[in-house]
Each structure stands twice: as structure tokens, then as C-alpha cells.
């Protein structure tokens, strides 16, 4: 498999999962500005949507969208602790968390990356995001991870919360979330993924 990634993007989430599961893969960097890959390809020929992550399977099929990719990867290793079995109530709960992170945190951060948006408007987006962070803080006050033990949703949440310093948002304002970030950052898979992406 090939994982197309760009540093400091949501592609870190499937990268973490690949390392957690010990699956063989090739990591290929994408330049987000030029849409060229490190091996010289036009990334738009791989993913016409133009953004990472993209997972290319051995048969040439391409899978995009982080929540879909991470669930596909987890299902390649049945019995792993990252995702409950398909068709179970617990799996539906996982999908609920993945959707919340995607719609409320990931998408909530998107406008904050836009340098053309005026600060008063960004303040409105931040206030909305802060309410979602409050909710997450309450959920994680009861347990170390979103579903009890480390799983797909935690890798995704770590990925998007890792962007907060870029927006001058101090994770320490939510001590429970700061502790969560420290726990996840200490995992060998996360350290390895972040080191590989920084290289």
C-alpha cells in the first residue's frame, strides 16, 4: 500500500493507524501547493479532490477520506483493539466519534487556516470550536480515550488537535485535552509517524 501524505495535515491519522497495526506501506509526500508527489507524479491523477490522505491499494484502487481509510485499515487486521468489529453497536459508536471529529473539529479548524479571513470572523469560528473542545474535555474527563482504550478516533482527534497552536489556541486551557495529547504523543506509533513526516 501507498499512503500519500503532507506534514501537519489529517493524513497523520491513517499514518498512525498503519504504524499501530504494523502493516507494510510506502509513505509518499505530497506538496500541497504544487500538487506534485515526492516521486514526481501529479497528485491530482491519484486523487482528483486534490488533498491528502490518499491510500493506494496493491490492486491500484484509491481510497480517500481519513475516516474511511482508518476503518478500512483496521478491518485488515481483525481482532485489533483500534476498532470494534463491523456491524456491532460499538462500531457505530466509533463512527459517531469519527463523524463528530470530522464535522465539528476538523471542519471547525478549516477556516482558521485561511489567512484571508478577518480576525473578528475567526473569533466567531474559534468560539464555536471552543464549545466543541469543552464537550470533548467532558468526555475525556471520564476515561483516558474516547472509547475507553486507544482507537481510531483518538488518533484522528490527536491529529486535528495538534493544529491548535497554529491558531494561537492554547491546549492547556483544557487540561484534560492537554493530558490526552501527552498520552497519545507518547505512543511509539505516533512518535514514529511524526518523526517520519518531519524528515
Q: In this predicted model, what pLDDT tens digit does every residue of 12-24 receive, in sequence order?
A: 999 999 999 999 9
pLDDT bin (cut points 50, 70, 90) of residue 174 is: very high
Which helix (H) or strand (E) segment is 61 a member of? none
pLDDT bin (cut points 50, 70, 90) of residue 101 is: very high
The DSSP letter of residue 161 is H
Please give the pLDDT value at position 79. 86
Instruction: Enumerate the β-bridge partners of residue 31.
Output: 36
Render pLDDT for 54-98 as a digit per residue (tens, 0 to 9).
Answer: 999 999 999 999 999 999 999 999 889 999 999 999 999 999 999
Please give the pLDDT value at position 178. 99
DSSP 106-139: IHHHGGGG-TTS-HHHHHHHHHHHHHHHHHHHHH
- Nearby residues of 146 by Cβ (< 8 Å), 6 or more positions away: 97, 139, 140, 153, 154, 157
Architecture, CATH, for domain 2-80+189-198 = 3-Layer(aba) Sandwich (3.40)
Q: Is the preceding peptide bond at 36 cis, omega within 30 degrees of 0?
A: no
- Percentage with pLDDT > 90 across the chain: 98
Residue 27 has pLDDT above 90, yes or no: yes
Mean predicted lDDT score pLDDT of the chain: 97
Please give the pLDDT value at position 78. 86
Render pLDDT for 119-154 as a digit per residue (tens, 0 to 9).
Answer: 999 999 999 999 999 999 999 999 999 999 999 999
Q: What is the pTM of this model?
A: 0.96
Does the 89-187 domain belong in CATH 1.20.1050.10? yes
Domain ranges of the chain: 2-80+189-198, 89-187
Amino acid at each position: 500500500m501507498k499512503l500519500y501524505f503532507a506534514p501537519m495535515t489529517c493524513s497523520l491519522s491513517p499514518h498512525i493507524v498503519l504504524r499501530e497495526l504494523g502493516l507494510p506501506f510506502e509513505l509518499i509526500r505530497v506538496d500541497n501547493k504544487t500538487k506534485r508527489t515526492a516521486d514526481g507524479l501529479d497528485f491530482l491523477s491519484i486523487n482528483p479532490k486534490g488533498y491528502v490522505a490518499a491510500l493506494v491499494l496493491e490492486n491500484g484502487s484509491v481510497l480517500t477520506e481519513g475516516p474511511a481509510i482508518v476503518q478500512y485499515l483496521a478491518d485488515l487486521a481483525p481482532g485489533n483493539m483500534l476498532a470494534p468489529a463491523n456491524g456491532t453497536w460499538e462500531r457505530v459508536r466509533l463512527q459517531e466519534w469519527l463523524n463528530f471529529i470530522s464535522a465539528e473539529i476538523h471542519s471547525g479548524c478549516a477556516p482558521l487556516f485561511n489567512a484571508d479571513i478577518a480576525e473578528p470572523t475567526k473569533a466567531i469560528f474559534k468560539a464555536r470550536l471552543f464549545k466543541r473542545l469543552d464537550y470533548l474535555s467532558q468526555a475525556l474527563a471520564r476515561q483516558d480515550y474516547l472509547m475507553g482504550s486507544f482507537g481510531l478516533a483518538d488518533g484522528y482527534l490527536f491529529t486535528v488537535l495538534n493544529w491548535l497552536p497554529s491558531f494561537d489556541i492554547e491546549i492547556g486551557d483544557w487540561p484534560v485535552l492537554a493530558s490526552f495529547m501527552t498520552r497519545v504523543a507518547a505512543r511509539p506509533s505516533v512518535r514514529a509517524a511524526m518523526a517520519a513526516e518531519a524528515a
